[in-house]
Amino acid sequence: MQLTPDLPSGTPSFELEADEIDTVIDLICRGAGEARVQMTPGLIEVPMTNIVRKAMKRVKRRLGLTNLEVSGEVEIDDMSTEGAELLGRIDIILKFLRQFGNEDDYVGVECKRVGAGSAYSQLNSRYVTQGAIRFVNGQYATGHAWGFMLGYVLALPADEIIQTIDQRLRKDYGEVAKLETAPAHADALSIHEGVLQQNSGSAIRLRHLMVDMTGAAPQFPSP
């Protein structure tokens, strides 16, 4: 079998079933939707994520999902060394029952603030350079088939944000990283998907979930 040279190669170690992917997306989006009313202007990513994660846990209980757990901010150990090195701290981790017992097998969610307009250009850049990159360089989800990024949209429209992120992803990782529209969710502004090549050689698919958090936008002074 011939491989297209610019497509990621390698077989991921940890896969997700289609219904598991749907459950993850539904739980993230519902949790973000419930958390939205608790957002106040100027909140940074850590308290925003704490609010979203707690809301996800409440949604999980209401839905009776006893086959998975939600946790975070979780330290990812560097298992290639014997010292105290850490690879990083991922914002949210979900684990299905079948993943229990293997610390390397989890569903990772990285959260970043984003927004339309020049005031948010630096945040949009960091979404890639301090977010997506961690699924590439081995900090998060090494050997995983799937990863998830949650974008807290502080200023609309979401389409402008996706266009900016897509351009940066393709600039850094090539055309294979191009974002494609994925199935929608009622509590998400948009959902997209792209493929990245991990340094380990495996391909990872990233789902990008954009949720409305305009209530947490900083209040800029009037001109």
| Residue 76 pLDDT > 70 | no
C-alpha 79/C-alpha 58 separation (Å) is 33
Mean pLDDT of 84-93: 72
How far, in Å, CA of 25 to CA of 9, rounded?
25
Region 51-76 average pLDDT:
91
Percent above pLDDT 70 for the chain: 87
Tell which residue, 68, 74, 75, 71, has the closest CA to residue 24: 68
CA–CA separation, 13 vs 106, rounded Å? 11
Q: Rounded distance, CA 126 to CA 160, Å?
A: 16
The backbone torsions φ and ψ at residue 68, rounded to the nearest 5 degrees and listed phi first, read -150, 160
Higher pLDDT, 76 or 141: 141
